């Protein structure tokens, strides 16, 4: 099946051919004709399936056919959870609209709003935005959403994960009731279905990949290793395998930072990308990674959303995610556009339960393998409740003891700091739960 047979116009076919696509991907085959018909769509598709072109191409066709007003109002709004994804989507829109006279721009937080405002003043047909900055600029009257004809919610599952539900509702109140709605999500949870029911009208459901399955052709491996040996094993894997482009996931921002430094010290040039890094630093790190001037990119889940790194051969889970769906997102970074890829997880004793959760979600087993020299041995039992030793009174030395002496107060200080250290460790072992008891990612759910 060709792009032409999907009903796309000549300028779009020209742009697609220039990009080098020969045939539509599965999601494009289904989504393009449906969206061209003007129907609402509820699509289950992970990154790497070609979903962006799947909604961008028909969206551009619709807008190019409509009446073009001199003072361009925003006619299409694409909402994304992260800055990276927003930038990525706009890049796609730019590419595919090369032979059309449509204008688009992107707005997100973390950078100066002034250039974004002046871009909006010049008039744009398509706006790609993250929710926070969109509402901010709307409240400043820097933009109007009154003429929206098509509303796209991209990576809706991540939107909800990041706590954007209220912002989405506010935005829905600002756009006209009569419009076409497109919802894309990598996973189809109950919450997503609820959200879909709320604003999609008789949607056509498109499932390019079965629910919550990992990208085809990705080889998944899990190595059982002690936490303390993970860096050494990772260095060995990268060096011996001669891996030149490795995306590594950690659970926390500080973990990403530490690991990136350790790798660089050991001769594997690396950069980190997480919520504490400025937008410019993230873009720079990603560029160096894409160009191949660094070998490894260490990322947290949220920061990595929307990264488009074609033909990424290796993804490493340095730490398994505590939210199983994140595993699907992570390994969706490899094996894209029909190419094979390898996803390797380094699993320590305390992460075995996370692995079980992932296996349950995927309905697939990922056997734990051992690597010579890295056998973690038996788990060291961690006492959850310290058993109190019966208090034995130490016999006081009879001589040299005076009431309130410094030696007594020193002893008591020493004990209390020990107690605190113990409490701190216990804290670290607790399951991280959100305000209402929902399981929460340990990483950076920083909103834009
Ligand atoms: P996406 O899922 O939208 O993030 O796209 C993943 C990657 O696939 C991007 O690098 C696209 O440029 C690429 N891509 C999209 N559509 C096609 C196609 N029909 N043929 C080959 N590559 C494609």
Would the CB of 49 count as within 6 Å of ligand 1?
yes
Mean pLDDT score of the chain = 82
CA gap 317, 215 in Å, rounded: 16
Domains and CATH numbers, the chain: 4-207 (3.40.50.300), 218-369 (3.40.50.300)
CA gap 270, 259 in Å, rounded: 9
If you average pLDDT over residues 48-57, what whole number do you get? 90
pLDDT of 337 higher than 70:
no
Q: DSSP for 124-149?
A: -SEEEE-HHHHHHHHHTTS---TT--
pLDDT of residue 40: 97
In the sheet with 150-153, reading across from the earlier edge strand, the strands are: 104-107, 126-129, 76-79, 150-153, 180-185, 41-44, 204-207
pLDDT of residue 180: 97
Atom of ligand 1 nearest to the CA of 306: 4
Reference 90, options 80, 111, 69, 104; nearest CA is 104
Which bin fits 172, alpha (ψ -120 to 50), beta or left (φ > 0)?
alpha
Ligand 1: which residue has its CA nearest to atom 20?
21
pTM comes to: 0.61
Assigned token pair, 14: 């020209």
Among 53, 91, 92, 335, name the best residue to mutate to test ligand 1's pocket (greatest count of ligand atoms within 8 A of Cβ). 53
Which of 57-61, 152-156, 160-164, 419-423 shows the lowest per-residue confidence on average (mean pLDDT)? Answer: 419-423
CA gap 359, 366 in Å, rounded: 7
Please compute Rg for the chain using Cα positions: 26
If you average pLDDT over residues 343-355, what whole number do you get? 96
Ligand 1: which residue has its CA nearest to atom 16?
50
Q: What is the pLDDT of residues 376-433, one digit of tens each?
A: 887 766 555 555 665 666 666 554 443 433 333 333 333 333 333 333 323 333 334 3
Among 52, 92, 341, name the best residue to mutate to test ligand 1's pocket (greatest count of ligand atoms within 8 A of Cβ). 52
Reference 92, options 274, 310, 299, 290; nearest CA is 310
Atom of ligand 1 nearest to the CA of 46: 2
Among 337, 338, 339, 341, name the best residue to mutate to test ligand 1's pocket (greatest count of ligand atoms within 8 A of Cβ). 337
Reference 76, options 55, 45, 99, 100; nearest CA is 55
| Residue 60 near residue 67 (C-beta atoms within 8 A) | no
Distances (CA, A) of 122 to 92, 102, 103, 355: 21, 12, 10, 51
């Amino acid at each position: 099946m060709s792009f032409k047979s999907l009903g796309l116009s000549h300028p779009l076919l020209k742009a697609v051919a220039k990009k080098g696509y020969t045939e539509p991907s599965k999601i494009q085959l289904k989504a393009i004709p449906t969206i061209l018909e003007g129907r609402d769509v509820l699509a289950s598709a992970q990154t790497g399936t070609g979903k962006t072109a799947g909604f961008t191409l028909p969206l551009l066709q619709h807008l190019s056919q409509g009446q073009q007003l001199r003072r361009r109002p925003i006619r299409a709004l694409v909402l994304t959870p992260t800055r990276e994804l927003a930038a990525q989507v706009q890049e796609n829109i730019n590419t595919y609209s090369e032979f059309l006279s449509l204008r688009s721009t992107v707005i997100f937080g973390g950078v100066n709003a002034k250039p974004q405002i002046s871009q909006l003043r010049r008039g744009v047909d398509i706006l790609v935005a993250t929710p926070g900055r969109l509402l901010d600029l709307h409240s400043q009257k820097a933009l109007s959403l009154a003429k929206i004809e098509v509303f796209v919610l991209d990576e809706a599952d991540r939107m909800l994960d990041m706590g954007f539900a209220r912002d989405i509702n506010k935005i829905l109140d600002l756009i006209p009731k009569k419009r076409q709605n497109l919802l894309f999500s990598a996973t189809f949870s109950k919450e997503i279905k609820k959200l879909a029911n709320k604003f999609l009208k008789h949607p056509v459901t498109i499932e390019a990949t079965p629910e919550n399955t990992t990208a085809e052709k990705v080889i998944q491996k899990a190595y059982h290793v002690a936490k303390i040996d993970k860096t050494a094993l990772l260095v060995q894997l990268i060096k011996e395998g001669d891996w030149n482009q490795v995306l590594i996931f950690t659970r926390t921002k500080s973990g990403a930072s530490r690991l990136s430094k350790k790798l660089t010290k050991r001769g594997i040039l690396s950069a980190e990308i997480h919520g504490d890094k400025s937008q410019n630093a993230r873009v720079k790190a990603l560029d160096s990674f894409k160009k191949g001037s660094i070998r490894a990119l260490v990322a947290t889940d949220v920061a990595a959303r929307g990264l488009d790194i074609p033909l990424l051969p290796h993804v490493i889970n340095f730490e398994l995610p505590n939210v199983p769906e994140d595993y699907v997102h992570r390994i969706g970074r490899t094996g894209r556009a029909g190419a094979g890829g390898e996803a390797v997880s380094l699993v320590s004793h305390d992460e075995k339960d996370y692995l079980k959760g992932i296996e349950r979600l995927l309905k697939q087993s990922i056997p734990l393998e051992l690597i010579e020299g890295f056998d973690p041995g038996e788990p060291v039992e961690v006492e959850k409740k310290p058993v109190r030793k019966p208090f034995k009174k130490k016999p006081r030395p009879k001589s040299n003891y005076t009431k309130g002496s410094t030696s007594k107060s020193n002893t008591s200080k020493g004990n209390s700091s020990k107690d605190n250290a113990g409490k701190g460790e216990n804290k670290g072992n607790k399951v991280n739960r959100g305000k209402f008891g929902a399981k929460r990612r340990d990483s950076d759910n920083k909103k834009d």
